[in-house]
Structure 1
């Protein structure tokens, strides 16, 4: 098999290194040396695209050799098998990838690699990219707004979102946008996020993402901020002495429970959902003007517990988004050139390769609209990067793929 060498090989290897998550984690488990092969069909005589897909397949095969999980689902109706679904995924991380041979074999492009694989989980889809995904954090609805009266925490619906934005902005792989003036569940937070279409998507998340230019939309509901013993007296310095003689009083315990939802901005699909709960002592006067996320708030025992809880939520959000593919909208198509609506702020660099996807809207039997994303099986190479947009180039004319504005590019 002939070895094919091209001037973009170093750039592709750098991209592959980033895919494998080398910049994200240090080796923690024993590494296993494996050999793997990947093949991809060559379409439109585009070797770039076939090579990228063959490399991706080789990485997946290397990961499967070390750690694979098989999930099977079967659905029976009237004694007949109607759905037989088999899914195999891996939680192994692939490192130190070396291409041993590569080249065209008829209508296929084949790549043989050797790599070291660790079984520690990084991302469920095996590969983590280095791009910063745009995330819009909307305001949090309140299930019981009257519970925020104590301490004058009424701005918690907006301040909680702002606090998350500040924390997420310093994390890898996330570009957070403050949209706390917008809420996705203004009328019935009790049922959130069940205000979904039959396909389990939230159309308002798609609308919000398009208007804000974000890949993901974070929303949530504050479920509980109530005092456990609202009539309990405030703690005093001599309470400890009273306890020693057998006299005690109810503690001023206050709860904080909130839900976080992450929706994909292109399909409206729910990609993450979690509930966070804590409690702490609230010893402020009933008429004290504390405010949420202020210095005085975080000086209380309750505020410190809430701070720890929100940091845990931010860590979970960051991990979820980090393991998602990078996606951006095509804003203009000109021959072989594609204009992408994000640039240097997302970490795009000249020489990067992005997979190209078509989008189309369909309607189900109930008349609910949903978006379908189709892989063209081709890639575009980034040629120019500006602060707010980038230009990528295909190896063939875009008219052969019928690419339109609002189609997508994706980085794995």
Structure 2
């Protein structure tokens, strides 16, 4: 009896050890308490509070993860260049101010900052994104007997998955091609010093925060050169190629920020298909018949992975929208209930702060960069837009229609 009891205990201990060994440790967020400061300018404490919180977030990020690069150049026994650059790598998932005060026209905050352990954040607002075409680098890689929906279908389905996630409000504009030279993407070929980039123009004219684009880098089917020759064997190989072949898949996905035109996301997805690699002409991307083909299934998998990667990358990025109208001290912004704007939300307004020369109907500017001009407090919400007021009248701050507002 004792031996049986001992064996049972031994087996239980072994099973417990195995189950513990299979449990993967969960990443835990790191929470730190830090102080931030900012000067109060033009009698706007709300803006100073926002800037002080940003200062606290920077301090918290430095404590968590920082890369330092230093460079020293010596010429004729003298130091000619001595630089130190620093870049933080932490993502902030949540913040809470636990104390705030002002002294000598300086705003102080003490905040609890939660740094993300998995490089992702909880999205508080739904962000607008527009999908543009994914042109083929080599048109000849897709024959006239195959589907012609890849050009618009891949970005359309990728955008649809982003919409379904609940984090984005999407627009499909797959008739727009950002890359006339697809082989050079994501480089743009229409840059000019006196006007904003095409990305910024698209974002402004469509009222979106992000611009999704990409290229189909590779869809090549293996060469038929080795099948040349005469005789039954060469003929059999040629016939076999119509049934069993090898095809490479390479798709690049990009996301640009409409506020600055900066490239925020760039990823290349590659795969290989062996077998029946052709996609019939009547099949559309995202359909059941498309996904039932070998190449279509691999492309669908790439689209799904790209949507996950984009969501993770943009989750920590601040929400941004534009001012669409100003009446007295009422400021109307192009975001409302559908973007999850709430009464009491405070957004930072970015303005050029002057009457700089506009050459494109107000979409861009020459001269001063956009700077924080004030804090907009939301007091009225509709499904499509919201109304707020500034600490100081808009005309005194140089705030105008077309200026940006951001969550921080």
Instruction: Quote the Cα distance in structure 2 between the aligned partners of 1:343 and 1:316.
Output: 27
State the alpha-carbon separation in 1 of the partners of residues 28 and 281 from structure 2.
55
Aligned residue among 389, 392, 395 for 1:396: 392
Name 1:335's counterpart in structure 2: 328
Q: Does 1:224 align with 2:218?
A: yes
Aligned: 1:354 with 2:351: no
2:90 aligned residue: 91
Equivalents in 1 of 2:387, 2:178: separation in Å?
Answer: 33
1:168 match: 162
Please list every run of 5 or more consecutive structure 2 residues that lacks an aligned counterpart in the other structure: 1-24, 228-239, 359-363
| In structure 1, distance between residues paired with 2:292 and 2:168 | 29
The corresponding residue for 1:212 is 206
Matched ranges for 1:3-42 at <5 A: 28-30=26-28, 34-42=32-40
Given the alignment, which residue of 38, 50, 53 partners 2:51? 53
Change (3 A) 1:299 1:39: same
More helix by share: 2
Asked whether 1:299 is paired with 2:292, we answer: yes
User: What TM-score comes out, normalization by structure 1 length?
Assistant: 0.76
Do the aligned partners of residues 295 and 337 (structure 1) sit closer, same or farther apart at CA in structure 2, a change above 3 Å counting? same
Note if contact 2:146-2:278 (Cα within 8 Å) is conserved in structure 1. no
Partners of 1:286 and 1:175 in 2: CA distance: 30
- Count how many residue pairs are aligned between Structure 1 and Structure 2: 361
Checking the alignment, whether the CA contact within 8 Å between 1:139 and 1:157 is kept in structure 2 is yes
* 2:303 aligns with one of 299, 307, 310: 310
SS of equivalent to 1:169:
helix
Is the contact between residue 28 and residue 120 of structure 1 (CA under 8 Å) also seen in structure 2?
no
Gaps spanning 5+ residues in structure 1: where?
1-26, 234-247
Q: Distance in 1 between matches of 2:72 and 2:388?
A: 43
Once the two structures are TM-superposed, the CA of residue 58 in structure 1 deviates from its matched residue by 2.3
What is the rounded CA distance, in whole Å, between the counterparts of 2:383 and 2:32 in structure 1? 40
DSSP-derived class of the 1:142 partner: coil
Change beyond 3 A, Cα 1:328–1:172: same
What secondary structure, in the 3-state scheme, does the structure 2 residue paired with 1:263 have?
A: strand
Q: Give the TM-score of the pair, scaled to structure 2.
A: 0.76
Cα gap change, 1:290/1:381 in structure 2, threshold over 3 Å: closer, same or farther?
A: closer
Q: Equivalent of 1:103, from 101, 104, 123?
A: 101
- Partners in 2 of 1:81 and 1:317 — Cα distance? 42
2:398 counterpart of 1:405: no
Say what the alpha-carbon RMSD is for the aligned residues.
3.6
Task: Tell me which moved more, 49-58 or 390-399.
Answer: 49-58
After superposition, residues 182-201 of structure 1 pair within 5 angstroms as 182-185=176-179, 187-196=180-189, 197=191
CA contact (8 A) 1:383 1:392 kept: yes
Contact 2:254–2:266 (CA under 8 A) maintained in structure 1: yes
The whole-number CA distance in structure 2 between the counterparts of 1:362 and 1:60 is 34
Work out the CA distance in 1 between the residues paired with 2:74 and 2:296: 51
Deviation at 1:298, TM superposition (A): 0.9
- Note the alpha carbon deviations across 1:49-77, whole angstroms, 9 max, x for none: 22232233223323332333334578999
Structure 1 residue 167 displacement after superposition: 0.9
- 2:337 corresponds in structure 1 to 344
Give the greater-gyration-radius structure (CA).
2
CA 1:60 to 1:284, structure 2 compared with 1: closer, same or farther past 3 Å? closer
Query: Are residues 305 and 56 of structure 1, via their aligned partners in 2, closer, same or farther at CA, if it must alter by over 3 Å?
Result: same
Preserved CA contact (<8 Å) 1:133 1:321: no
CA contact (8 A) 2:178 2:198 kept: yes
